[in-house]
A = this chain, B = another copy of it.
Amino acid sequence: MADSINTDKPRELIASDRVEGTAVYNLNGERLGTITSFMVDKRSGQAEYAVMQFGGFLGIGADHYPVPWQKLTYSTDHGGYVVDLDKDTLEAAPRYGHDDDAPEYNADYDRSVNTYYGLGA
């Protein structure tokens, strides 16, 4: 995507190692957890998933949840990302435990996570 610099609304850049650790909130402004890392398309450089960790909020474990980047909205007010996901959605969402258990993000996994969140085909 060669989106060149838009003078009207300058893009806001953040260092990759600062995205890691950024807080995530729900629509009510409650802090759900943090982004531990994100999955990037090697070639295009497009972030496709934020991997979120929820600190046992509402009984949801501290697992890693890959959430499609499109589901995130950056909130200047919060200084973090807002996701419109409810407890039921998260409870059944694709996840894994430790970082070492991270799945291979191959085409099948990619498709299955996107499908879960109602994206892609």
Contact = CB atoms under 8 A, between A and B. Distances in A.
Contacts of A16: 16-17, 19-20, 37-40, 47
Interface in A63-121: 69-70, 72-74, 102, 105-107, 110-111, 114, 119-121
The winner among A4, A15, A38, A102 for most chain B CB atoms within 10 A is A15
**Stoichiometry (number of copies):** 2
Contacts of A7: 107
Contacts of A114: 4-5
Given A15-B39, A16-B20, A10 B121 contact: no
Contacts of A1: 46
A54 interface: no
B13 A40 contact: yes
Interface residues on A, range: 35 or more
Interface in A26-62: 37-49, 51
A4 B47 contact: no
A43 B38 CA distance: 13
B10 A106 contact: yes
